Structures are given as structure tokens and as C-alpha cells.
Structure 1
Amino acid sequence: MKYLSILLIFLFLNSCQYFDKKVPSEKELLQKELKSINWKEVDEYPSVADCEKVADKKLRQQCFFQFMTSLIQQKLDIDTLSIMYPELDTISVKVTVFPNAALKFEPQFPSDSVAYNTIKIDSVLRARLVDFPKVNPAIKRGIPVKTQFILPVIIKSKKIK
């Protein structure tokens, strides 16, 4: 019993070092966590119902981009952009997907775009790029986030007979 009490006292005195550790502050923990997050990438990319069944992250992203590009091309095929500007074969469209699943489309013109009536092209794009299917926003750490990307949209030339 004497040895047991000495052993317990010895363990008790040595265990004090475990209680005397410095606990990091809330701000330090927050800063450490914020530095560890990669803000350039999302956990899940935006998606549409047709692409939800794809399991692979990269393939789902590619499916979404192809879906959006082809849908924008279909909506612009019914317009006269290719007739008005035959030299204009591709338009870059900046697509913004907001956390509430709203979409915003902005045409991106090159800096030497004085040959085009950018205001007219912009108004045509805004008029045509409506009524899109529901888009699920991107997810970062379980929270819907805003994402932006630029899609090159090929304007198919129409033959005038």
C-alpha cells in the first residue's frame, strides 16, 4: 500500500504538466483554418440535373461546361449575330452562378472590339440568354457559393440563299 501511494503521488505530480499546456486562442485557430482552405477551388462544381448522375468530379464539371456551352449556342443560333458580324465566330461569355442558383451572363469583348457594336451584341445576348434550366450552385464546405467562369461560344455561320 505504501508503494501504491508513492506511485500515485508520483503520477499526480507528473500529470500536472498535461494541464499546463497553452491552449490556442480562437483567432489563432481561425487564422490557421483559413490558411488551410484552398479558396481557388470548390468542393463541388455547379451542376444541372443532366450531369448529377456523373460521379467523377472532373467529368461532372466537364459535363456542366459542355451543357452550358451547347445551350448558349442553341439559343444564339436563332439570332442574326452571324449575319450582322460574319467575322465574329466566337464570343466569350462570362457566366456567374450565384448561391441562390441565379445566373448572369456577360459577353467579354476583346480590347480591339471597335469593329463590333458591343452594345447591340450585349443586348442580343441578354435577350436570348433567358429561361435556363435550374442550375445547382457550387458547394464549398457544405455552403453554396458564387462561381464565375468564361465559356467560349461558337457562333455558327448561316448561309444566305
Structure 2
Amino acid sequence: MRYLITLLLLCFLTGCNWTASREKKTRELVNEEILSINWEDVDKYPLFEACDETVAKTQQRACFTETFLDHLSNTLQETELVLEGEVNDTVYVDFLMEASGSVSLVAVHGPDNINELVPEFKGHIQQGLDSLPSIKPALKRGIPVKAKFRIPIVLSPQ
């Protein structure tokens, strides 16, 4: 009987140790994997319906950028921006694409007096964003993620 109790006690103590060891090893593997991920880059860029998702990543980016810029450019041309004074400058516009595929205006970087030079500039940009066709979000390891991007807009009196 004493041998049976000793054997059961020994099995119980070593069994608990194995579980803790496996848990620790799993945690270490997960931490190593997380550290190896490049969080500054996505696996697949956001895509419009017109873009082919089977092409290389650089071509996906080019298609997204071209389609986005074409749409925004057409929207700005339709609104006929009114420039107050002589403007010949570049404005950088930051956008955030959510994991849901929606795009929002984050910031406009340019001359300090951009709102005086181009009244309602942000409103025209927002109008272009609101009329964008549907976009598939960027993917990281198969999971939709947020993506931030910046585009230059050249303002000239033409």
C-alpha cells in the first residue's frame, strides 16, 4: 500500500511539472514569433475591386496607389478648387485605412496658411474619400489590419 501511495504521489508531482514546462515553452515560442514579425510592413496591400490580388506585392501597391490617386484627382478636379492668391506648393495628406476597409483623413501637412489659400481643402478631400469604391483592407498574416499612408498633392495655379 505504501508503494502504491508513493507511486501515485510521484506520478502526480511529475505530471504537474510537465504541464508547466510545456506552457513555458509555448510562451517562449509565441514571444519569439511575435518578435520576428515586421510590424512596419503588410503582407498584402489594400485593394480595390479592379486590382488583381494574385499579383506581386509591388504591383498590388502600384494598383492601389494609382486607383486611389486617380479617384482623388478626379474628385478634386470636379470640385474646381478655388485658390486664394498665388499657390505653388505641395501638400501631404495622411490617411488611415481601418481593418474594415474604410478610409479616414488623419492630417494635412503643408504651408501653415493652407486653409486660407485653399478654403474647404479638407472638405474636398473628405468628399473624395466618401465616394471611394469599396476597398479590401491590408492583410498581415491573413488578418485585416490598419494601414497608414501619405500622398502628395501638388497645388498650382493651372
CA distance in 2, matches of 1:90, 1:31: 43
Match of 1:3 in 2: none
SS in 2 for 1:65: helix
Match of 1:91 in 2: 91
Percent identity over the alignment? 24
SS in 2 for 1:150: strand
CA distance in 1, matches of 2:152, 2:106: 12
The answer to which of 49-58 and 31-40 deviates more is 49-58
Match of 1:56 in 2: 56
Give the letter for the 2:112 counterpart. S
CA distance in 1, matches of 2:62, 2:70: 12
Change (3 A) 1:96 1:80: same
Change (3 A) 1:59 1:76: same
Change (3 A) 1:155 1:120: same
CA distance in 1, matches of 2:156, 2:129: 16
Show structure 1 runs of 5+ residues with no match.
1-21
RMSD across aligned positions (CA): 2.6
SS in 2 for 1:81: coil
Show structure 2 runs of 5+ residues with no match.
1-20
The answer to which of 62-71 and 50-59 deviates more is 50-59
Q: 5 Å matches for 1:17-96?
A: 23=22, 24-52=24-52, 55-84=55-84, 86-96=86-96
* TM-score, reference length from structure 2: 0.72
Match of 2:102 in 1: 102
CA distance in 2, matches of 1:141, 1:115: 39
Q: Give aligned pairs, total.
A: 137
